[in-house]
Chain A
Amino acid sequence: EAQVTQNPRYLITVTGKKLTVTCSQNMNHEYMSWYRQDPGLGLRQIYYSMNVEVTDKGDVPEGYKVSRKEKRNFPLILESPSPNQTSLYFCASKKRLWFYYGYTFGSGTRLTVV
């Protein structure tokens, strides 16, 4: 089944403890991106990647890192999480540059930083 898999689904952590949220897709998509969703603010893009080893900042990149060493994986790294990073996170992928194709989203990761 074509899908984007995010792990974990739920995570509670403490301020300052490094964490990684994984994202993997099995559709050979070039383009992958991370979003966060907050009440009243909607979805906002954190980082995106157009292909292996090519990443760039979205609208709200502060406090996050990403890497794209393989085409299928695009992990989101929080080096020193803070409570304002408590949010619902989504990973998505699609074929690069072919904007006639839609996005496939992961199931989301609900992160709480205490």
Chain B
Amino acid sequence: KNEVEQSPQNLTAQEGEFITINCSYSVGISALHWLQQHPGGGIVSLFMLSSGKKKHGRLIATINIQEKHSSLHITASHPRDSAVYICAASMVSGGGADGLTFGKGTHLIIQP
């Protein structure tokens, strides 16, 4: 079974700072997902990547398959980025089942 570890667990930063959240996993995967969960609970899928790098606005996600590691970066952080960020490893089994194993999340607070 895959183990997914995230760091840091909690992060408080000032508005405008560059933010990095890290995710490592123990076995090979088919894809790595980054999710965002705002207070109030709803979950939004930010990225799904199996190699390289993806960018959407101020968010950048990278993955290194050899090192089994992914990072989520936020440039020019803003208080509205305050949320819990969750990484999840996707593994497609021989039967086609696509199970998600989740990290415990990083609670990010951006102060004005």
Contact = CB atoms under 8 A, between A and B. Distances in A.
Secondary structure call for the B interface: strand
A66 interface: no
Contact of A99 (B31, B41, B43, B45): B31
A54 to B, nearest CB: 10
B100 A45 contact: yes
A98 B86 CA distance: 21
A56 interface: yes
25 contacts: A35-B100, A42-B86, A42-B104, A42-B105, A45-B99, A45-B100, A48-B97, A50-B97, A56-B97, A59-B99, A88-B41, A92-B43, A96-B98, A99-B30, A99-B48, A99-B90, A100-B31, A101-B48, A102-B33, A102-B45, A103-B33, A104-B45, A105-B35, A105-B42, A105-B45
